[in-house]
Structures are given as C-alpha cells and as structure tokens.
Chains A and B, each alone.
Chain A
C-alpha cells in the first residue's frame, strides 16, 4: 500500500475539508466586500489602480505560482531531478522581459487590457478584435490546464483513489465535482468582486502558499541538518535514475527534456531542439500572458509597476528555490515508486512529502495536519490563478470586444462593467464544460501550449507596437493571427496530437512537425508576418506613435488611481 493513500484517513480528510471550507468562506467574504466597493469600470477591470507595489507583487506571484507550477514543478523535480529546476529558471528569467520592456510602458499607455496598447495607433476594431481573440484563446487554454489539474488534484488531495468512495463520490465523480466547484468559485470571485476581489484573493493565497511552502521547506531541511548537499545526494540515490544505474544523471539535465535516444541521433536532435523551443516559450511567454499584463494596471503609476515586478521576481524566485528543496525532498523521502503510484505525473509529490515529513517529526497526527495545510495551500493556488484568468478574459470581452468593437466606444463605464460581469459568467460556464471534456489532456502540455501561444501571438506584436515607428494595423493583425495560428497549427501536426503512443489520437498519424513545443518556429513566423504585413500596407501614423511614446515614457496622461 502507498503511504499517503493508506494514511489519508477520514480524520485527515476532515481536517483538509475544514481548511478548504474556511478558505472558501474567507474568499467569498473578500469578494462580497470588494463587490460593494466596485462601481466604476476602473474598479472592475483594474481594482481602482490603488494597490501598493507589495500588494500587486504578491498578486503577481499568485497569478504565476499556480497549482501547476507549485505541484507540477515540485513533482517534475521529484521524478526527473534537474529538468524540473530548468523549467523554473525559464519561468523566472521571463520576468526580466516584463520588467525591462513591458510593465512600465504598458502601465502608462494603456487602460484596462492588452488590447488598449496594441490598438493604440491602429484601426480600433480589427486590432481590438484580434487582441480579444488572442486573450481569450490563451486564457482559456491556461484556464483548462488549471481546471483539469484542479479536478484531478482535489480528488487526490482528498485521497480519493480509483475504486474508493468518499461522501458517496468515486474518483471520476470527485474530479468532475472538483472542476465544477472551482469553476463556480472563480466565476463568483470575478463576477461579483471584479479585479479588487480577485486581487485580494490572490494576496491571501500568496501569503498562504508562501507560508505553507516555507514551513515544509524548513521542516524538510531540518531532517537533513540543513545540509542541502546531503538532501540532493539522498534524492539522487533514491531516484529512478539511480535504479537505472545513473544516479548522477538525476542532478544533470536530460532526464525529461532533450532526452538522448540511444542509436537514434535524429530523434535525439529533435528532442534537444524541443528543449530549446520550450526554453524560448517559457522566457517569452510570460510578458505576453494577458492575465499578467493587466496586473500592471492595478497600481497608481509606472514606478509602482516596476516595484511590483521586483516584488514579484523576489517572491517567485524564492518560491522556486523552495520548490527545488521540496522536489528533492520528495524524491529522497517519499520515493519514486510511491509518488508515481499516486499520480503518474508526480503532481502529488509535495503533499505526499508533507505527510511523510510531518510523520517523521511529530507522528501520524502531525503528518495529517501538515498534509492538510499543504493541500489547502494547493487548493488556494488553484482558485486564485483561475480567477486571474477569468478576469483577463472578461475584461477583454467587455472592453475590447463589446465596447470598442460592437459599440464603437460609445458604451459607458457602468454598461461595460455589467457586460464584464456577464462575460465572467459566460467564460466560467464555457471553461467548466470544456474542462470536463478535456479531463484526459495532459496538464503540462496545456500550460506549455498557452505559453507558446502567448510568446508567439502577443509578445512580438506588443513589443513592435511599443517600439517600431512604422508598425501598423495590417502588421499587428498578421503578427497576432500568424503567431496564434502557427502555434496551434504546429502543435496539431506534432507528435503531441498524433503519431505516437502517448498522443491525443494514438491511432492516427498526421504528425510532420517533430517538436512538441512550437515556439522555436512560431515566434519567428509571427515576427515575419508582422514585418511583412506592416511593409505591405501604406498605413502609418507617426503622430499617434509620437503620442504613444511620449505617454509611455513620461507617464503624461496616464490613467490615475480612482479615489473613493
């Protein structure tokens, strides 16, 4: 029998459920409070722009430290060692793109959405439509990843295994219930609390998650006398790599990404190129994720945007260092077999570690409590990230699509807020339904696809809008659609979808693109489309460009914080 499964007693489940319930009650309370203070469009879309850099930094960290990155990276490190760490490095370095090139300029020149900046000097309707489409597609894929993960995780966190029942639910039912509960909660947060509610939920989550991870990191290290080297050695020796006679390989790149296939140099080369393609998507995707971009609007000015990114970098970096300890700790203390028995992708490595560490330190009861704490932190992580994605989608639908495209900019702020609330409900329902159907998709695949799409469709167009004088409507449209279509298209023709045993359609084979990660090709395609599109059109508006640049750099005419 597997440790966590065996010891996931009814009392431990009860503690977990009580903590889940407390968290839901607290976040609903925040939402009700925030909803009372949300009147204007600025309140709804941007939380009134009154958040401090630290508060926004926590919320940025919260958007980013999703359950997929907390549980996923810890699990990847536990199973594959170094390659999980490599993944987290791409996620962290990516913030420099946001800090140096995007955050402040976007804060100064936009209002509510990514589309504000993209369409600034272009023809409003086509570019805002494109921005809205791309925001929705990227956010929905990311949302699906989180929700599919959430369903499985809640079942696992409550310790419901195949063949078991809890409160009358078997494992598949529990997964669907998990998806629906998460979907309803995120819709409530956004529809009622707007950006203010969402941001406070994220701040609370960031504190809970950081505290939970810090506690577990401290306890894990304490078992090794705070000797990280000894922990790593133990992890390597307990790993699957060691069983295969390559313990040192656990601490080196290559077990998960860029795998060397003996006797097949061509596949080996594709694998290595795929690693580079993944690295590119991770580092370029972040500053093109709509839910990250709109966070920069929630602070009073561009200096606060800069400071909040710095807080974010500090928090996220610290978090990934802790994840490294947790991953190695799980490899050493829980072990490969026990982790994969619970979840093949390793997503439950961190909660399992919590239980083992708790038991070693204070017996069964401590194990159950520590497990419940980490499970609740993971639950909080799921809830707040999905809320961030829903608000990004609903703001873009209301502001870019409804107001600017359908109403040609004539709608008032209160109309926009009303539409945004309904849009949040619509996005929530669509996400719940899609997630139920997408349950068998691989979570890591959905996340990396969202990053590749953001890196291809959004970032090149955003940077060209801010820095290239000649850039115009046709270029922006070509860049967004070219990037989006090439990223999705290449994945469709990759081994992820067909032509391999692990593909979505294992019986079909139309895979001619060898890399599961498309960014290496789709980012250059997007850039090329943007440049060719621009040069093939005579349109140019240097005056608007001058306005955009002066506004972006000086902050003159920037949106101010609302005062209540």
Chain B
C-alpha cells in the first residue's frame, strides 16, 4: 500500500498503475535540456513574468495614487462616483480579466505541450503521447 511508504524521498514515486513506472532522475535531467521543454518554459515565462510585473505596477500605481494623488482621486466623475471608486473598480475588473486571460492562454499554449512531455516521461517512451495530449 502506497500509504505507508516512508516519505524520505522528496520526489516519491507516483502511486502505481499499469505502465506508470517511477520516473528516473536522469530522465528529468535529460528532459530539462530538451528543446521542447525549453519551449514550454518560454511559453509560461513569457506570459507570467511580464503579466506579474504589469499587474503589480498597476496595483502599486493605485496604492501610490491613494497615498499621494488624492486631488486626482477625489475628482467627481458623475454623481457620487469619483476617480478613486472607478480606479478601484478597475482593479477588480483587471484582476478578473487577467485571471480569465491567463486561463485561456494556458489552455491554448501550455497544457497540451505539458501533457505531451509528461506522458513521455511517465511512459519512458514516446508512445501513447497523442492520447495523453488530447486530454
């Protein structure tokens, strides 16, 4: 029973099913220098790093304006709605928007590639790749 295996190994073998052998350390290291893994990594980094910088900058701009730009934040746009409230609402909208955008990006550009490499590592061969990638 996999339950009672010691947990010394930080990368414990997955719980076995048919054809689900533990992956050798060397296989991971080889995969790391595989150009397709390089491409996978680039696709993730190309999105998450610029996007993280962008939303942090956008958020910090909001906080800075709340601290130092109160004249602008207090301008009434219509009725009781001022710049501060609209700016805050935009933070909500941009958070929702970035989450949706990232999910679409990852679904389209990341998941199937990751699944292909995962299947390869787990099967130790290039077989069964298409089936796994179709998930």
List residues of A whose CB falls within 8 A of some B CB. Answer: 39-42, 82, 85-86, 89-90, 92-93, 95-97, 99-101, 111, 116, 119-120, 124, 229, 232-233, 236, 248-249, 251-254, 257-258, 272-273, 275-276, 279-280, 283, 303, 306-307, 309-310, 313-314, 317, 320-321, 399, 403-404, 408-414, 416, 543, 546-547, 549-551, 553-560, 562
A89 touches B92 (CB 8 A): yes
Chain B hits for A96, CB < 8 A: 51-52, 55, 95, 98-99
Residue of A nearest to B16 (CB): A560
> Given known contacts A553-B114, A557-B11, is B82 in contact with A414 (CB within 8 Å)?
no
A449 to B99, CA, bound (A): 27
A252 to B73, CA, bound (A): 7
> Given known contacts A99-B99, A317-B95, A556-B28, is B67 in contact with A275 (CB within 8 Å)?
yes
B1 CB to closest chain A CB (Å) equals: 8
Residue of A nearest to B85 (CB): A251
Chain A hits for B74, CB < 8 A: 248-249, 252
Interface flags for B73-115 (1: CB within 8 Å of A; 0: not) read 1101001111011001001100110111011001000010011
Chain A hits for B81, CB < 8 A: 229, 232
A93 touches B55 (CB 8 A): yes
A399 touches B7 (CB 8 A): yes
Contact of A412 among B6, B29, B37, B95 (CB under 8 A): B6
Interface residues of B in 1-52 (CB under 8 A from A): 2-15, 22-23, 25, 28-29, 31-33, 37, 40-41, 44, 47-48, 51-52
B80 touches A92 (CB 8 A): no
B7 touches A413 (CB 8 A): yes
> Given known contacts A254-B70, A283-B59, is B32 in contact with A549 (CB within 8 Å)?
yes
B114 touches A283 (CB 8 A): no
Contact of B32 among A124, A317, A546 (CB under 8 A): A546
B3 touches A86 (CB 8 A): no
- Residue in A276, A320, A547 with the greatest tally of chain B CB atoms within 10 Å: A547
B48 touches A101 (CB 8 A): yes
A86 touches B66 (CB 8 A): yes
A249 to B74, CA, bound (A): 8
B48 touches A556 (CB 8 A): no
Chain B hits for A272, CB < 8 A: 67-68
A100 to B121, CA, bound (A): 25
Chain A hits for B7, CB < 8 A: 41, 111, 399, 403-404, 409, 411, 413, 416
Chain B hits for A233, CB < 8 A: 79-80
A87 CB to closest chain B CB (Å) equals: 11
B57 CB to closest chain A CB (Å) equals: 12
B40 touches A409 (CB 8 A): no
Contact of B4 among A276, A306, A412 (CB under 8 A): A412
A92 to B74, CA, bound (A): 23
Contact of B10 among A120, A257, A314, A317 (CB under 8 A): A120
- Residue in B22, B33, B74, B111 with the greatest tally of chain A CB atoms within 10 Å: B74
Chain B hits for A82, CB < 8 A: 84-85, 88
> Given known contacts A39-B3, A119-B10, A543-B25, is B84 in contact with A253 (CB within 8 Å)?
yes
A120 CB to closest chain B CB (Å) equals: 5
Residue of A nearest to B113 (CB): A554
Interface residues of B in 58-73 (CB under 8 A from A): 59-60, 62-64, 66-68, 70, 73
A236 touches B80 (CB 8 A): yes
A321 touches B99 (CB 8 A): no
Contact of A253 among B47, B70, B114, B117 (CB under 8 A): B70
Contact of B103 among A41, A120, A306, A550 (CB under 8 A): A306
A307 to B103, CA, bound (A): 8
Chain B hits for A306, CB < 8 A: 103, 106
Additional A-B contacts beyond A251-B84, A253-B73, A559-B12 (9; CB < 8 A):
A42-B3, A100-B102, A306-B106, A310-B103, A314-B96, A409-B9, A411-B7, A412-B4, A555-B118
Chain B hits for A558, CB < 8 A: 14
A413 touches B4 (CB 8 A): yes
